[in-house]
Structure 1
Amino acid sequence: MPTRDTPWPAGTPCWVDYGAADVDAAKEFYGQLLGWEYSGGDPEFGGYLNASRNGRAASGLGPLTGEGDSPAWTTYFATDDAAATADRIRGAGGQVVVEPMEVGPMGTMVIAVDPQGNAFGLWQGGSHTGAQVYGEPGAYVWNEAAVEDTEAARAFYSAVFGFTYEAVTMEGETDYTTFSTGGDPLGGLGGVHPGLPKGWTTCFGVASTDESVAAVQAAGGKVLLPAEDTEFGRFAVLEDPWGAPFSVMEVPAAG
């Protein structure tokens, strides 16, 4: 299954992390659900942990840092120049919440929101190049945004990352597109649906969607969209016990 040990191309979703209200409880929940092991947590990096699957970095997890913030997953896009990309975000009408910040030798991060208030991040890799595993159980397989104004959102992300878009026909979707920088699709962008998450969300690969749904419910989470079969795999939208949405997709195990 896919692994990567070099920096991701600019504009690619390259990392996801979770801001936790209760770090220990979140570690246990996601560790059980996705088979993660953890390293890091040093005070000098704010207690930030790296979650790994079979020894390869899959995501990050750390305590919430902003007063009033809610637990949530953040999608980070790779950049070769964090400062220049931050300038493009501002120029396109977005806001930079955390200015380019060096995280030791590991890289440079930025937190921003688009003009519709949807949060995302940038990562300019150093010794930490981003996710080393993807597209398999225990790793992210897809990142997408649900937005109020799809046309405006596509214009914004095109200005920032150079995205081009391709319409996708799916049941229940009238304005869904994938985005890319000229190659394979990198993620998706579509409209908001009642009862489902708004903004950027992450879909994780799992060995069994039905078992994952049951595990989330048993741990106190919720089902926002029941498991259903799609042309891409069996899929469900969930909410963890602290109210953070994410989705799962049944994908083949690493081989």
Structure 2
Amino acid sequence: MAENSTSAREAAYTEGVPCWVDAQLADVAAGERFYGELFGWSFRPSHGGTVWAYREGRSVAALAQKTDGRLPTVWTVYFATPDARALTVRIRAAGGQVVTAPVPVGELGVTALATDPEGAVFGLWQPGTHAGFGLRHAPGAFVWAELYARDTATANTFYGGLFHDALFGPDAEPDVGRAPVTTVFPALMPPHFLVHFGVVDCAAALGEVTRLGGRIQAGPFDTSYGTVGVAVDDQGASFAVLQR
């Protein structure tokens, strides 16, 4: 994950707030070329062969080498928590599943993977020296995560129960939305989170995706939170670009 946190940043990542994203790729060097050109990212090596991406010298994401070619090529969003193990207990009780039990990542923190009742995968992050994004809500950085669900009422109950304060509390400024899968994707597409990165011009960014060897799945289209384009990189990982 990324650099040491400050107390102000730590305070921003209360439980249930998206605090990090990473991509599992077969070819990390190719990922650096694709996303480096698309978003203006620079890269530095990190824990366990992962590379961190930086925009304006501040951490925005990580690219990780897939350990098994059968694993999906995918972007994952991580939600902050002060206690990953306790949260996994609550996830199971609410009808979700734990894919990967909490495990330390050096001194950086503790990570885990889980699914909601419909099978959408998300990560948990308990901070150590790394609290989360060094930069977000800006071009070339994380701005939004949309959950495409089969049953949005089930999703609201599950995530609202886990992360009520982050989603609905008096100080909530949620970076997560929920929509039916069929809003954008074919009906057979499984429920999933779609990570959105900020851009100045959505149409121009989609043009760059095509130039770099990726492809466009949908858009540009207007939403309540901005103009969105859904794309797939040159290795098969889906993501979105968001112009606000």
Tell me if TM exceeds 0.5.
yes
Q: Aligned-pair distance for 1:115?
A: 1.6
Partner deviation per Cα, 1:163-182 (whole Å, 9 max, x = no partner): 68xxxxxxxxxxxxxx4444
Aligned ranges 1:1-255 → 2 under 5 Å:
5=6, 6-7=9-10, 8-41=13-46, 45-162=47-164, 179-182=167-170, 183-193=172-182, 196=185, 198-230=191-223, 232-251=225-244
The residue identity in structure 2 corresponding to 1:102 is P
Mark the CA change 1:108 to 1:181 in structure 2 (over 3 Å): closer, same or farther. farther
Partner deviation per Cα, 1:121-165 (whole Å, 9 max, x = no partner): 00011111110111111101111100111111221112322268x
Structure 1: unaligned runs, 5 residues or longer: 165-178
**Equivalent pairs, count:** 231
Partner deviation per Cα, 1:22-49 (whole Å, 9 max, x = no partner): 11101110111011111124xxx33111
131-140 vs 61-70, greater mean Cα deviation: 61-70
Task: Give distance in 1, aligned partners of 2:69 and 2:234.
Answer: 20
Mark the CA change 1:159 to 1:67 in structure 2 (over 3 Å): closer, same or farther. farther
Mapped contact 1:180–1:187 kept (Cα < 8 A): no
Mark the CA change 1:46 to 1:31 in structure 2 (over 3 Å): closer, same or farther. same
The residue identity in structure 2 corresponding to 1:12 is V
Mapped contact 1:12–1:77 kept (Cα < 8 A): yes
Mark the CA change 1:231 to 1:99 in structure 2 (over 3 Å): closer, same or farther. closer
Mapped contact 2:22–2:77 kept (Cα < 8 A): yes
Task: Give distance in 2, aligned partners of 1:224 and 1:194.
Answer: 12
Mapped contact 2:146–2:176 kept (Cα < 8 A): yes
Structure 2: unaligned runs, 5 residues or longer: none
Higher helix proportion (structure 1 or 2): 2
Q: Aligned-pair distance for 1:235?
A: 2.2
Task: Give distance in 2, aligned partners of 1:50 and 1:237.
Answer: 23
Task: Give distance in 1, aligned partners of 2:152 and 2:210.
Answer: 32
After TM superposition, the score normalised by the length of structure 2 is 0.88
Task: Give distance in 1, aligned partners of 2:145 and 2:180.
Answer: 14
Q: What is the root-mean-square deviation of aligned Cα atoms in Å?
A: 1.9
The residue identity in structure 2 corresponding to 1:94 is G
Secondary structure of 2:117 counterpart: coil
The residue identity in structure 1 corresponding to 2:102 is P
Q: Aligned-pair distance for 1:99?
A: 0.8
Partner deviation per Cα, 1:49-74 (whole Å, 9 max, x = no partner): 11111111101111113451121000
Mapped contact 2:35–2:41 kept (Cα < 8 A): yes
The residue identity in structure 2 corresponding to 1:13 is P
Partner deviation per Cα, 1:190-237 (whole Å, 9 max, x = no partner): 111166264101110012212211111112211111223556443211
Q: Aligned-pair distance for 1:184?
A: 2.1
Mapped contact 1:142–1:202 kept (Cα < 8 A): yes
After TM superposition, the score normalised by the length of structure 1 is 0.84
Mapped contact 1:148–1:192 kept (Cα < 8 A): yes
The residue identity in structure 2 corresponding to 1:33 is L
